Amino acid sequence: MAWEITTDLERFAAAADGFLRSAPVRHTIFLTLIDNLRVRGPHAYGPADPLFGWWTTPSGATGGVLLQTPPHPVLFSSLPAEAVPAAAVALADREVSAVNMAAADIAAFAGSRPYAVGMRTRLFRLAALTPPDPAPSGFARPATVADRDLLIAWVADFATFIGEPRDDVAEVVDDHLSYSGITLWIDGGEPVAMAIRSRPQAGMSRILRVWTPPESRRRGYAGAVTTAATRAALDDGVSEVVLYTDLANPTSNALYQRLGYRPVEDRTMVRFG
């Protein structure tokens, strides 16, 4: 039983693929990160090389994984109990300032190190889509290149709103447009909300960003555009549609449950030092 750490994406993918695809809902972020790194290159998230790792069980199978796209926290899958403190040892020679992992694993990973709890998130999967009733006025349509300037502004606003401003917004928008991954809600002839979904991976797609500008809120547009993006994902042929919410935002958590999404697991981000 041991951790293998590498910066080689394809070596990691070869070792982790079966494990990740065995539970694509729980491993949604890993699957989409691998896809994005392949499409946009190893420095899609920053100038430092990504880091990958997998835990090998006594039978030789992969029993857990980790992935980091600096400067973001190290992301862990669910892990066997013995793999959690072993991960801290395997990463001891690297500067790990933050991790994102199952809440129950944090104490064993941290050991005696003090840490501060950051964002707590909840993974939801679609059970049965329940459109909002009554629906707001307007209709959904796929975004096109003609919407690019607006989308760049909205994605930048979304990133600032969640406290993660980024300088690659145009590249992010272009990538999503390349597979028709952005849905707009139109009312009065103008876009009033958007929802972005990931490329299908292992029969799964994730709703990534839902944004309604402040001046258009409280009119039901977020629920309507999320419903439309969910239908678009199902039309892509996936069997699972998932999304994450910030547990500190009761409005979004309640909205997605009204639309038919159900809780799967909770995760917590913590910072050290």
Interval 202-254: pLDDT, tens: 999 999 999 999 999 999 999 999 999 999 999 999 999 999 999 999 999 99
Q: How much is the mean pLDDT over the chain?
A: 95
Q: Supply 273's token pair.
A: 């030092």
Distance CA 213, CA 150 (A): 11
| C-beta atoms surrounding 39 within 10 Å | 12
Q: Which residue has the higher pLDDT, 167 or 85?
A: 85
Best mean pLDDT range from 57-61, 103-107, 213-217: 213-217
Sheet of 204-211, strand order: 2-6, 51-56, 62-68, 74-76, 98-102, 261-272, 115-126, 240-246, 204-211, 190-197, 182-187, 139-142
Interval 122-133: pLDDT, tens: 999 999 999 999
pLDDT of residue 166: 87
Q: Supply 60's token pair.
A: 């030789």
As a whole number, mean pLDDT of residues 191-206 equals 96
Q: Which of 2-6, 143-147, 166-170 has the lowest mean pLDDT?
A: 166-170
**pLDDT exceeding 90 applies to what percent of the chain?**
95
pLDDT of 18 higher than 80: yes
pLDDT of residue 165: 86
The pLDDT confidence band at residue 164, using thresholds 50, 70 and 90, is confident
Q: What are the domain boundaries of the chain?
A: 2-113, 125-265
Interval 142-156: pLDDT, tens: 999 999 999 999 999
CATH fit for domain 125-265, picks 3.40.250.10, 3.40.630.30, 3.40.190.10, 3.60.21.10: 3.40.630.30
